[in-house]
Amino acid sequence: MSQSALAVELSGIWKRFPGVIANSDINLKVASGTVHAIVGENGAGKSTLMKILYGMQKADEGTISINGTNLIFNSPSDAIDSGIGMVHQHFMLADNFTVLENIVLGSEPKNGIRLDFEKARKQISDIAAENGLAVDPDVLVSELGVGDRQRIEILKVLYRGAKILILDEPTAVLVPHEVDELFNTLRDLKKEGLTVIFISHKLDEVLSIADEITVIRQGSTVGSVNPHTQNVSARDLAEMMVGNELPNPEAVGDTIQAEVVLKVDNLAVFAKGGKAIVDDISFQIHAGEIVGIAGVEGNGQAEILDALMGIESATGRVQFKNEDITNKSTRHRRELGIGFIPEDRHRQALMLEAPLWENRMLGHQTRTPNAKGIWLTPRSAKADTKRIVEEYDVRTPSIDILASALSGGNQQKLIVGREMSGEPKLLIAAHPTRGVDVGAQAAIWDHIRHARQSGLAVLLVSADLDELIGLSDNIKVLLRGKFVADADPATVTPQELGTAMTGAGEVA
C-alpha cells in the first residue's frame, strides 16, 4: 500500500438533527498508513461524523469512499465488512462477559453450532502477541481497569480484521503512562500498514501522534495541517477550532479575603476494593478566591466534588465557615449556601423529562423562591426561572419546555444560572462552560468573576486549561488522587500545566 493512496475519503457530508445541523459539507481525506487526527470543540460534530463513517448513522448527503470505492453503510456490519473498526469513547463492553466473549461477539469461531472457545483463545492470543496487547482472555471484564478495557476494544477491532481504526477520544480516560502505551501501540499499528483516525480535543497529544490533522468547527471542516511539514502550535490549532479570537478569561485584581470558607483536611475516598481514589488531600479556599484543580480526567476530580457535597462517603474533615460539615447531609450543605455544578449534567444536574422551571427548583427545593416552609411556591419559582433564562441567555421558547428539548449548552447555562442564584458562599464547579458556545462562555466567566468580587469562593475543575489559568487564583495539580504540585496562574503556561498533569515536570 503506498503512502499516498487514500484509505478514507468523505466528501460533502451533511447530517441534520431536529434543530441542529451536526455536519455541514464535511470533506475529509485520510491517507493510508497514517495517523490522522480530527480535532474540534465539544459539539463540533466529530462524533456524529465518525458514527456516519462507522455506519451507526446515515448521512443526509455526501459520499463515503473506502480505498477508492464508493460505499453506502447501512449498519456497523457494513463498515466492519469494509475493514473499518471503531473504539468508542464510552467503552462498548459487557461487564459480565469475559474478555474472550467480548472480543468474539458477533464474529464467533464456530464448531457446528458450538462456539469454539479453543480456537477463539488462540486467535486472540496471536493477535495480542503480534501487537503487544497483553490480555487474559478468560477474565471477566468487570475486574479490569480502564487501560485493559481499551486494549480489549482495540483487540476487538483487530480481531475483525480492521485496516482502518477510528478512536474516539481515546485518551480522555487514561492516565499518562497509559497514554504513552496507547501511542506506542498506534505507532506499531501504523507500521503494520493500518490507518488510524484519532479524534481528540487535546491538542498537545494530537501534535505528538498525528501525521495529519483536520480541524472541524461548527459541523464543517475548516482545514487540514501536517505537523511534520508545517510549523503549527497548539494555540494555532485552538484558534482554528474556535474561530479567530480565542477568548481569554482573565481574572482581574486580587479579591481574596481573609475569611476561610472551605477547609478540607486529609480527605480520602476509597473504591469498593479499598483502593484510594482520592488520597489524603488537604486545602482551603478563602472568600473571593478561586482555586482550580488541574488534572487528566479520571484522576479523582469527580470523587472530590461528590465527597465535598456529601454524595460520596469519604474520610477526613470538611469545614465550611468554621462549621464542621463532615457528616452533614447533602441537603444541609446546599442550604448553607454551597452551589454545585456537577461533571455529568444529564445524570446529576437535570430531570430531563421535567419542565425548565421544575429543574430550576432541583437542589434548591427547600429555599426561596422555590419553597416556603413545607410548601412549594411554583409561581415565584417560575418567575425566577424567567430571570435566569434572561440573565444567562438560555435559548428557549418557554420555561414550560422539557429540559431534554434544550441543547447541551443551553442546559448548562440553566444549571449555572441556578447554582449562582440565592447568593451562594461557595461554588463547586466542574467544567462550568463545557459544551457552551464561545459568547456564552465569556458571559459565564463574567458571572463567576462578579460573584467572586462580592466574596464567592470557588472550587473549579476544568479540562480547559486556558479557563483554569484565566479564572483561578491558585491551581492545584491532581494526579492519581493526590495533589502533586501547585501552580501560579499568573506565570504558568498551558503547556507547563499539561506537563505537570502527566506527572512529568516541575511547575513554577
Chain positions 2 to 31 lying near another protein, rule: CB under 8 A, are 18-20
Contacting residue, 104, 240, 269, 291, with another protein by CB under 8 A: 104
Which CB, 100 or 460, lies closer to another protein?
Answer: 100
The Cα–Cα gap between 504 and 495 comes to 12
Which CB, 121 or 332, lies closer to another protein?
Answer: 332
Burial 471-502 (b: 16+ CB within 10 A, else e): bbbbbbbbbbbbbebebebeebebebbbbbbb
* Site stretch for another protein (CB under 8 A), options 33-41, 101-109, 174-182, 428-436: 101-109
Specify whether the CB–CB gap between 441 and 470 falls below 8 A: no
Q: Which of residues 267-306 bind another protein (CB under 8 A)?
A: none
Which CB, 52 or 497, lies closer to another protein?
Answer: 52
Q: Which of residues 303-342 bind another protein (CB under 8 A)?
A: 309, 311, 329-335, 340, 342
Give the largest Cα separation in the chain, rounded.
Answer: 76
Q: Rg of the chain's alpha carbons, rounded to an integer?
A: 24
Shortest CB 140 distance to another protein, Å: 10
Shortest CB 349 distance to another protein, Å: 6
The Cα–Cα gap between 424 and 452 comes to 10
Distance (Å) of CA 88 to CA 144, 350, 435: 17, 25, 19
Q: Which of residues 363-392 bind another protein (CB under 8 A)?
A: 363-366, 371, 374-376, 378
Specify whether the CB–CB gap between 406 and 385 falls below 8 A: no
One character per residue 56-95, x = contact with another protein (rule: CB under 8 A): xx-----------------xxx--x-----x-x-x-xxxx
Q: Does 475 bind another protein (CB under 8 A)?
A: no
Specify whether the CB–CB gap between 173 and 146 falls below 8 A: yes
Burial 165-196 (b: 16+ CB within 10 A, else e): bbbbbbbbbbbbebbebbbebbeebbeeebbb
Shortest CB 27 distance to another protein, Å: 25
Which CB, 50 or 469, lies closer to another protein?
Answer: 50
How many residues in the shown chain lie near another protein by CB under 8 A?
Answer: 73
Q: Does 354 bind another protein (CB under 8 A)?
A: yes
Shortest CB 372 distance to another protein, Å: 10
**Bridge pairing between strands 276-286 and 260-270:** antiparallel
Residue-wise DSSP of 289-350: -EEEEE--TTSSHHHHHHHHTTSS--EEEEEETTEE-TT--HHHHHHTTEEEE-S-IIIII-
Three-state SS at 223: strand
Conformational region of residue 195, where left means phi above 0, alpha means psi within -120 to 50, and beta covers everything else: beta
Which CB, 410 or 472, lies closer to another protein?
Answer: 410
The Cα–Cα gap between 461 and 427 comes to 11
Q: Which of residues 183-242 bind another protein (CB under 8 A)?
A: none
The Cα–Cα gap between 287 and 285 comes to 7
Specify whether the CB–CB gap between 227 and 213 falls below 8 A: yes
Which CB, 227 or 300, lies closer to another protein?
Answer: 300
Distance (Å) of CA 245 to CA 4, 220, 283: 34, 18, 35
Contacting residue, 260, 268, 276, 362, with another protein by CB under 8 A: 362
Shortest CB 87 distance to another protein, Å: 10
Q: Which of residues 403-422 bind another protein (CB under 8 A)?
A: 404-407
Q: Does 395 bind another protein (CB under 8 A)?
A: yes
Shortest CB 29 distance to another protein, Å: 25
Contacting residue, 13, 189, 318, 349, with another protein by CB under 8 A: 349
Shortest CB 55 distance to another protein, Å: 9
Three-state SS at 210: coil
Shortest CB 426 distance to another protein, Å: 15
The DSSP 8-state label assigned to residue 221 in this structure reads E
**Helices H / strands E in the chain, number of each:** 16, 24
Q: Which of residues 112-171 bind another protein (CB under 8 A)?
A: 113-115, 156
Shortest CB 428 distance to another protein, Å: 11
